[in-house]
Structure 1
């Protein structure tokens, strides 16, 4: 562990202006990186007084920029390496580092063999039980603290009111502002009970777009009045509650800034709206500055970081040119402006290190027990014809599943005639389907994201659509509910949304199938297709 964190009063006097600027930078570091890159980061920390680092699994999985270009290598020892790297980077830094990570649904978002909790959309389906959401925030915070993480860059408080959103979707609690607010508040309070800092994102609201800001610049065409009533509403309420930090997304909102520049470099959005009008006095952090929505417009190294800082940013996340950015800020900004951001960041760091000492919080539930309770409360049924559901369950149905990587215990439990559908056996299963009027279809989508029909090959998707059109199908969906939009469901179709493929969720789905439990959840979003 590096030197003990000194008070802001002492830091204000002892740190040089260049060191203070260095404290505003949060470069990305990668758990599965080369020794050469690790050594480079150590040198960067030592020579630039970097204030924070944000961990990612690997360069191949760091952002959508890299999807499909580099293979993500599985490493079952990532967690131990993660803890070793934290210790190594802390040792390399003269000033204690603020350690951050995206752990929206747990460290499993970045690290193998760590507890995974349900996605936000699953938690949004839970009705009148924010205690469970609180427990998720608390468990994630305990996992973070155990590993040496201070700052979980979560939760997403975007209202996902666009079914075609390629990047938020399942990461949002839903499309209702009140549900998003109450769930976000419970999640944040859960983290706060353990002493882990949070960051609500992606201001001013990334929900109503069909553009992925990792790849291009989303433009939100809404009036300020409309935004205030919806997208900005949970941010404003959580700011009143004293949230630690707000992450600004790469979004152009012409009604807020007619220049059409991203919010991350907009004085009107960061300083005039968020800081002054909405009264936020905490830390403002950027979304990853390597994302193409902004990075492609700033070819000069360090210019993007200086522009974001000038607009009112406090922390430059995923800065790929930290040394150059520090220099440009020193050249273009006043000492008073630098001190303003330094004070906010150092105060956050003080809170993080003070809370780190309070490590006697213990879980009341295991991750498995918590996931099971959420499953019982989240499973949602969308029945077009309840009589037909009973008919399916009591019939000699075809037990069919489309699996991905998950072990399918659900289909094995519900009965015989079990067939796993794939591109290799479409003809065989098609002949079997001729022998049955009823089908129980378990869907395990290949991808949680909507790109390319959630990873379903078109030929396989076409087969499912024909099956749904011609047979009495009872569908159990172990994945993103937006999958239903690509299935051509009818008004009489019957679907049960299980949301997750965890063993606990599969077991409770089976209990639902045998009528041992009722479906208590409510779909937290609206689908493009008919609402069953």
Structure 2
């Protein structure tokens, strides 16, 4: 090699080597992120440089002129097209020895084996490229789609964009792709741009540059070449270069300061390649209508000389209309090469183009040195991506590697950091004081909002309201004070229409005129340009994309379960670029499908599934709900089986279970805690002080603390109902029960069974007159909750049903939690319990299973509440958070601690005050893996819930294990509930 050639070779080699060296990016703020970049790459060391030079020389020196020219071409290939299409590429590889392939539509299952086949055909390994700006899904089915650049541009930080770039690079590498034509660094300053738009990080050059740099660094850190496009800048056009030649009319100064700015920064930080666009830029190329991709002034002058770029230069696709000035086949390819491009992308006629370039070499129109520059750069790049040690793509496990939990989690994080709050008049968001809200959801746009409305209903009741006419809609909405308008447009591609119709605008304005309105747009943020006025809109949200995760995350933000962090990446209507109200969460549970988001392993899911399905197979219960939350996030919320063994109705998340004794800690206990915190009662108050009827009895000196710790010598239970049955027929006594509701028979016990109010008094008297157990020791008893029910209802002059709704359930958003569920919900939404053959003589369905609570009309202090796993989790999370939830402090933290304390542990009493606590020996209510600060309760029907402040875990299990027979003890004997608890703790990863 002569000195001149060696000098060029070394400069180029150093540049491409540095493309994978440690990134020098001052915009990446996280030290740990910088460290990861440094650790994840393998820059060329001295030995590598020598090895690379030897490999490149060995290839280049054996090439004929036509073989060298062949390396310049990267041809398009659709893996899902007909054989003739694929044969064309086979022929180009065998007979013209092209240098690379850019894959387009198809699937990984088609592309991977085809790649292996074509690599085997090629004498020199092929450079494989793809347009995968937001992931392989930009081109391939059955692959993962990351958020569009516009969405990532709303993220106030850059770290997640780096992670997205890295993960897309890993997908590319797994599929045998060496160069991804990304990131798009166009600064989209024209809202009418038909081809860039969502593909851009936005209109602010600094934000675009930071995001592009982060994306590039992430992708190149795993050994996949990045390609910044579309040089010199396609962001301020209103035409599509696929169809015509767009004109950029700015002067050179403006282009230098804005459009070229990202390229300068990326080039300084070792950008591997650039794609030159087909644009008409008169200030850079004086020839009228002459594309920048073919302009020597732009490619060799501006890009190479002025900007000092020495990496690979690709043309944009040469079959695009923006580059169709040349009539003779091959002429455009020659012009592009003469302009300074290295790789000619998607030539319309490769054989003719090779002939043209070869002829130009012969007649001196181009030099051997010019050809060598490009071919050497291409071969160096092939070495850097590992083609000197080429291995076929491993086909097994390919699909699993391309769509992983890691991808879903990263997508969720990216969306969560991007959703943008643009307006929030009167601090409507996050929605608080849910007891005062009557919320409707109105869907607009042409796409679905099912995940949105489903997620909204996890927080409070939100009714979907539809109508064919505006007057009909307004009439229906008159019952609501808050309306959420979801504007949903297709998420299929970034080019889909995002416009609001005139009809939709009219309806929006009218709804906003009469209601508090939250407008949430799951669409390109330019849609807000259509709003002539936002005066009557209290809150406006940009959610950018209509994916399920975007809908879920945005719904969570509306209720304050996640922070609003995003910043608008473009100006749209009255909202300027950078607009974004930071709004912190208010302590409500958030939701994720990824356990890893809360430091749990997804391997947990299969094990819980196995235990739950085994339970159903063994008829331990017909069905169940299982929920796991950690660090304030529900990461597992699954329903199993059916309501009954006839398998007619599957269990759904909104189905209500009889939670039996869990009622104690979600109904009576919080009311007691509230009274204690207010100073109305003390834990040391005695029954004689609370209730006059207990004075001068053997129970008058029992304290609240003692009886709620189950350390008061109280009997565990009395079968109150048995004394109300006819001694001969064993049927309910007619003087106490009636088949119809009539005078005196006001307590509803079951279907067609009503009791006299005297039943409640008889229960209270039986407890008061019952004898105490001889020995003072731990003994679980329901009696304290009967007694406290009498006191609480007497103090407030209201029953527990009203009190729990007014004090807790309504404001917590526990819309599916209630006593007397048949009064509020359809019977089909309620899971039945036992087929009672000894008291009510019917399947108990929608009425409390516990006989004592049934005799009290379904409202007991110890039983009677029906709920869902999601609702129970809300109250448990409130306890876990020291009494705070949804922006409201229900209790002081010291109050929670007072009740969550084992006062008699030294007497071998594990219980707190009302709360169950972990076992003190080997046998007890938990898996033995929880912290001693944890607390919870279980219920006879199969209900179980536990909260662990130390590990930040809430676990809820609901089942009707007593259907159809209460003697079914499989759930208990097999420790099903605590086995699942053990699985949860076994899968803590951080």
Structure-1-length-normalised TM-score:
0.87
Q: Which moved more, 1:315-324 or 1:483-492?
A: 483-492
Match of 1:145 in 2: 173
* Bigger radius of gyration: 2
SS in 2 for 1:314: coil
**Residue 315 of structure 1: aligned partner:** 343
- Aligned residue pairs, count: 504
Partner Cα separation in structure 1 for residue 251 and residue 308 of structure 2: 20
Deviation by residue 1:81-104 (Cα, 9 ceiling, x = unmatched): 121221222223222111100111
Aligned 8 A contact 1:153 1:199 in 2: yes
Q: For residues 426 and 107 of structure 1, do their structure 2 counterparts lie closer, same or farther at Cα, with a shift above 3 Å needed?
A: farther
- Cα drift, residue 202 of structure 1: 0.5
Q: Is the contact between residue 288 and residue 319 of structure 1 (CA under 8 Å) also seen in structure 2?
A: yes
Once the two structures are TM-superposed, the CA of residue 517 in structure 1 deviates from its matched residue by 1.7
In the alignment, is the contact (CA less than 8 A) between 1:302 and 1:322 conserved in 2? yes
- Aligned residues of 1:477 and 1:498 also touching (Cα < 8 A): yes
Aligned-pair CA distance for 1:463: 4.3
Q: Counterpart in 1 of 2:129? A: 100
Name the CA shift for 1:386/1:45 in 2 (closer, same or farther; >3 Å): farther
**Is 2:489–2:497's contact at 8 Å kept on the other side of the alignment?**
no
Which of 173, 182, 190 is the equivalent residue of 2:210? 182
Q: Say if 1:145 and 1:452 are closer, same or farther in 2 by CA, change over 3 A.
A: closer
Q: Check whether the contact 1:383–1:492 (CA below 8 A) recurs between aligned residues.
A: no
Q: Is the 8 A contact 1:446 1:456 kept in 2?
A: no
1:441 pairs, out of 485, 500, 509, with 485
Alignment deviations for residues 25-63 of structure 1 (CA, whole Å, 9 cap, x no partner): 1111112100121112111111111101111116xxxxx
Contact 1:213 1:250 in 2 (8 A): yes
Rate the CA distance shift 1:380–1:338 in 2: closer, same or farther, 3 A.
Answer: same
Of 75, 79, 85, 1:27 maps to 75
Q: Counterpart in 2 of 1:353?
A: 386
Partner of 2:527: 483
Residue 524 of structure 1 deviates from its aligned partner by 1.1
- Displacement of 1:335 in angstroms is 1.8
8 Å Cα contact 2:521/2:542 also seen in 1: yes
In the TM superposition, 1:376-387 aligns within 5 A as 376-383=416-423, 385-387=425-427
Q: Does 1:115 align with 2:115?
A: no
Partner of 1:498: 543
Q: Secondary structure at the match of 1:496?
A: strand
Query: Which residue is 1:41 aligned to?
Result: 89
- Tell whether the 8 Å contact from 2:455 to 2:556 is kept in structure 1 after alignment: no
1:168-179 superposed matches below 5 A = 168-179=196-207
2:59 is matched with 11
**1:230 and 2:275 correspond:** no
In 1: Cα distance, 2:120 partner to 2:95 partner = 13
Does the 8 Å contact 1:446/1:455 carry over to 2? no
Superimposed CA distance per residue, residues 510-531 of structure 1 (whole angstroms, 9 cap, x where no aligned partner) = 2111112220111111114455
User: Which deviates further from its counterpart, 297-306 or 495-504?
Assistant: 495-504
Shift of 1:178: 1.3
Q: CA deviation at 1:152?
A: 0.6
> Quick check: 1:448–1:480 contact (8 Å CA) kept in 2?
no
- C-alpha separation in 2, matches of 1:87 and 1:168: 33
- State the alpha-carbon separation in 2 of the partners of residues 203 and 469 from structure 1: 47
2:455 paired residue number: 413
Residues 355 and 488 of structure 1: is their aligned pair in 2 closer, same or farther, counting only changes over 3 Å?
farther
Partner residue in 1 for 2:555: 510
Cα distance in 1, alignment partners of residues 66 and 415 from structure 2: 50
Could you tell me how far 1:12 is from its partner in structure 2?
Answer: 2.0
1:220 match? 248
CA distance in structure 2 between the aligned counterparts of 1:324 and 1:147, rounded to whole angstroms? 31
Residue 41 of structure 1 aligns to a residue whose secondary structure is helix
Instruction: Give the match for residue 407 of structure 2.
Output: 367
The answer for the alignment partner of 2:374 in structure 1 is: 341
RMSD, aligned α-carbons: 2.9
CA gap 1:278/1:398 in 2 versus in 1, 3 angstroms:
same
Task: Note the alpha carbon deviations across 1:323-348, whole angstroms, 9 max, x for none.
Answer: 11111111123222211111111111
1:505, distance to aligned residue in structure 2 (A):
2.4
Offset of residue 376 of structure 1: 2.1
- 1 CA distance for matches of 2:513 and 2:191? 23
Going from structure 1 to structure 2, the CA distance change for 1:515 and 1:319 (only over 3 Å counts) comes to same
- CA 1:278–1:454 in 2, change beyond 3 Å: closer, same or farther? same
Q: Which runs of 5+ in 1 are unaligned?
A: 59-77
Contact 2:429 2:560 in 1 (8 A): no
Q: Confirm or deny that 1:256 pairs with 2:284.
A: yes
Q: Pick from 468, 476, 490 the counterpart of residue 432 of structure 1.
A: 476
Q: Is the 8 A contact 1:439 1:474 kept in 2?
A: yes
Distance 2:164 2:415 in 1: 13
SS in 2 for 1:32: coil
Is the aligned partner of 1:90 residue 2:119? yes
- Report if aligned partners of 2:131, 2:138 keep a CA contact under 8 Å in 1: yes
- How many angstroms apart in 1 are the aligned matches of 2:493 and 2:535? 25
Shift of 1:502: 3.0
Q: Greater RCO between the two (CA within 8 Å, min separation 6)?
A: 1
- CA separation of 1:300 and 1:505: change in aligned 2, threshold 3 A: same
Task: Return the alpha-carbon distance in structure 2 between the equivalents of residues 124 and 519 of structure 1.
Answer: 15
TM-score after normalising by structure 2: 0.48
Partner residue of 2:568 out of 494, 498, 523 = 523
Moved more, 44-53 or 427-436: 427-436
Moved more, 392-401 or 7-16: 392-401
Structure 2: where are the runs of 5+ without partners? 1-51, 361-365, 394-400, 580-990
Q: Following the alignment from structure 1 to structure 2, what is the Cα–Cα distance between the partners of residues 401 and 136?
A: 31
Tell me the SS of whatever aligns to 1:89.
Answer: helix
Distance 1:355 1:411 in 2: 53
**Alpha-carbon distance change, 382 to 479 in structure 1, aligned in 2, over 3 angstroms:** same
Q: CA deviation at 1:9?
A: 0.8
Contact persistence 1:5–1:353 (CA under 8 A): no
Distance in 1 of aligned mates of 2:448 and 2:389: 36
Query: CA offsets, 1:195-214, max 9 Å, x none?
Result: 11110000001111111111
The residue that corresponds to 1:275 in the other structure is: 304
1:301 Cα deviation after fit? 1.2
Quote how far apart the aligned CAs of 1:405 are: 5.4
> Offset at 1:438?
3.9
SS in structure 2 of the partner of residue 417 of structure 1: strand
Task: Tell whether 2:441 aligns with 1:396.
Answer: no
Please give the alpha-carbon distance, in whole angstroms, between the structure 2 residues aligned to 1:230 and 1:219.
Answer: 16
Q: How does 1:118-129 map to 2 (within 5 A)?
A: 118-128=147-157
